[in-house]
Amino acid sequence: MKLSKKDLTSIPVIVLVAANTLPLYGVCFLGWDAFHIVLLYWAENLAIGFYNILKIAAARVEHPVLHLIKLFFIPFFIVHYGGFMAVHGFFVLALAKQAEGQSSAGPSLGKESWPCFLVFIQMLINVIRYMFSIIPPQMKLAILALFISHGFSFVYNYLLKGEYAMARPSELMGKPYSRVFVLHIAIIAGGFFVMALGSPVPLLIVIVIGKIMLDIKMHLREHRKAKDVVQPAAAAKVDGN
């Protein structure tokens, strides 16, 4: 996909790039290693899942009764995606400790586990708590910046540009997973490779810049598809009136 000047100077892309330059600053000036970068990009998946819940809730439906379907979709997504993120987080922390030669225990479930499928949410909460206890304060600001970036895109593209009108809750259920597998799994795999080499700064910079480029392409591809659907539908509605 070719990137035009208009694409690269759009406000959502500028916000996206600005948020993603903070890890670059952390690598170059704050001593962040591959472990920190891997955890940061894992945490970004939380933002993706959070705003996907808002997208499902705000998606337009043809009949008010269909809003009841969201009462099933949203809790199901929270449990399913939360479990996926929890297992992914345990996996990331375990491999990172192994790569660094550590044997200390990571996050635990606690004395009592939550009932049934809620145990996945309990796992996720404990992973998040543990992660925030071991990362530097500046990294928390980088995570906040990524949340703001995804939030800006949600408001600008989904709400103001009208993507919510053509969104389907059933399709939104699987969208975050495709992004995780295409982008973050590759980045995290690269991070462990760099970690095994001792986290050399040049390779970390390559990973961060590569992630920014992939982010831009995936962002533009996603919203171009949505634009191709929203604009004809809006034109047809005007003609019908």
Higher-confidence position of 10 and 77:
77
pLDDT at residue 15 is higher than 60: yes
What's the mean pLDDT in 62-88? 91
This prediction has a pTM of 0.87
Position 66 scores a pLDDT of: 82
| Residue of 215, 220, 154 lying closest to 24 (CA atoms) | 215
pLDDT at residue 21 is higher than 70: yes
Q: Report the C-alpha gap between 24 and 39 in whole angstroms.
A: 14
| Residue of 16, 1, 14, 23 lying closest to 215 (CA atoms) | 16
Q: Which amino acid is at 192?
A: F
- Label residue 4 by pLDDT band (50, 70, 90): low
Q: Mind listing the pLDDT tens digit for each residue in 129-147?
A: 999 998 999 999 999 999 9
Q: Which amino acid is at 36?
A: H
Give long-range contacts, CB 8 A cutoff, 24+ apart: 181-190. 182/214, 182/218, 183/211, 183/214, 183/215, 183/218, 184/41, 184/42, 184/44, 184/45, 186/214, 187/37, 187/38, 187/41, 187/211, 187/214, 188/38, 188/41, 188/42, 188/92
Mean pLDDT across the chain: 85
Q: Mind listing the pLDDT tens digit for each residue in 162-214?
A: 999 999 999 999 999 988 887 777 777 788 788 878 889 999 999 999 999 98
